[in-house]
């Protein structure tokens, strides 16, 4: 009888011989292996459920770690969707809801408003004067000079553009941004018809940058009288783009007012101007 088979509590006989080692029973190793697995499982369970320190959340290290919400408004659903060739009436209603300025109302009497807007912005961005699409806004009076053959630009000339500057800035840049977003698909179509593959946003940003690059003069420019036109006496001003020369004729007050409005509109559209 093996030692492990003795009844519990019964003294071992003195005459019993020391047993010789025998091969281990397969059942015994199954029991021992099972016990080891149970102990290992208990230790693993304790390890996984022991109190662990809660890591502190990492603070954002860059601006990209923080969700940034832009200023650009969401496009409102227009029902029915606007088609480029049939969009004039809808565009007029949107803009007239923002401003009842008589000069804006006069401008809206033209046809092909989306195409005219796209052409105007493209020409300004290229440095050209948008004389054709904006001919309805041309002042009735002409540039005046203080002098006969040369002299400074008459400051009274700037007054010719007061109405146009007031009309543009009478519209809130924020609400203008909403209308822009609503009709951008039309502006993109008209812009692509002119052979440009990028977004109208890019064209608009270029136009604003072109106007913003017009030098801010300390005093009224010196002019030279030529046959049927005036020319800048300063060679640097003669080298400006035509639209920048035209922008100078609006006067410093009107230029600052228009640029401030355009920059506010660009901010509301999340356009990059630099």
Over residues 105-150, the pLDDT tens digits come to 999 999 999 999 999 999 999 999 998 888 888 888 889 999 888 9
Scanning the chain, the segments in alpha helix (DSSP H) are 26-49, 88-96, 102-107, 113-125, 162-169, 173-182, 184-193, 200-212, 235-238, 242-248, 252-268
Do the Cβ atoms of 73 and 176 come closer than 8 Å? no
Other CB atoms within 10 Å distance of the CB of residue 63: 7
Check residue 68 and give its pLDDT: 57
The rounded distance, in Å, linking the Cα atoms of 51 and 186 is: 62
CB-based contacts of 16, cutoff 8 Å, min separation 6 = none
Extents of the domains making up the chain: 84-268
The average confidence (pLDDT) of the chain is: 80
Check pLDDT > 90 for residue 219: yes
Query: For the packed helices 88-96 and 113-125, what is the interaxial angle rounded to 10 degrees?
Result: 70
Do the Cβ atoms of 130 and 156 come closer than 8 Å? no
The rounded distance, in Å, linking the Cα atoms of 94 and 181 is: 12
Per-residue pLDDT band at 251 (split at 50, 70, 90): very high
């Amino acid at each position: 009888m093996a030692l492990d088979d003795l009844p519990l509590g019964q003294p071992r006989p003195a005459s019993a011989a020391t047993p010789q080692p025998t091969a281990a029973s397969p059942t015994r190793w199954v029991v021992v292996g099972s016990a080891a697995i149970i102990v290992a499982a208990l230790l693993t369970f304790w390890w996984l459920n022991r109190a662990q320190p809660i890591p502190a959340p990492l603070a954002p290290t860059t601006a990209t770690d923080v969700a940034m919400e832009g200023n650009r408004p969401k496009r409102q659903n227009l029902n029915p969707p606007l088609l480029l060739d049939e969009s004039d009436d809808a565009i007029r209603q949107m803009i007239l809801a923002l401003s009842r300025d008589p000069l804006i109302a006069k401008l809206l009497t033209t046809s092909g408003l989306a195409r005219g807007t796209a052409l105007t912005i493209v020409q300004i961005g290229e440095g050209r004067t948008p004389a054709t699409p904006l001919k309805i806004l041309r002042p009735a009076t002409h540039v005046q000079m203080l002098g006969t053959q040369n002299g400074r630009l008459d400051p009274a000339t700037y007054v010719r553009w007061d109405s146009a500057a007031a009309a543009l800035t009478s519209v809130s840049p924020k609400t203008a941004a909403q209308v822009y977003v609503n009709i951008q698909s039309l502006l993109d179509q008209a812009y692509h018809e002119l052979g440009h593959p990028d977004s109208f946003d890019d064209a608009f940003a270029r136009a604003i940058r072109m106007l913003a690059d017009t030098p801010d003069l300390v005093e009224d420019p010196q002019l030279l009288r030529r046959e049927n036109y005036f020319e800048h006496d300063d060679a640097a001003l003669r080298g400006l783009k035509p639209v920048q020369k035209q922008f100078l004729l609006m006067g410093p007050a009107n230029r600052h007012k228009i640029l401030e409005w355009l920059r506010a509109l660009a901010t509301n559209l999340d356009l990059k101007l630099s």
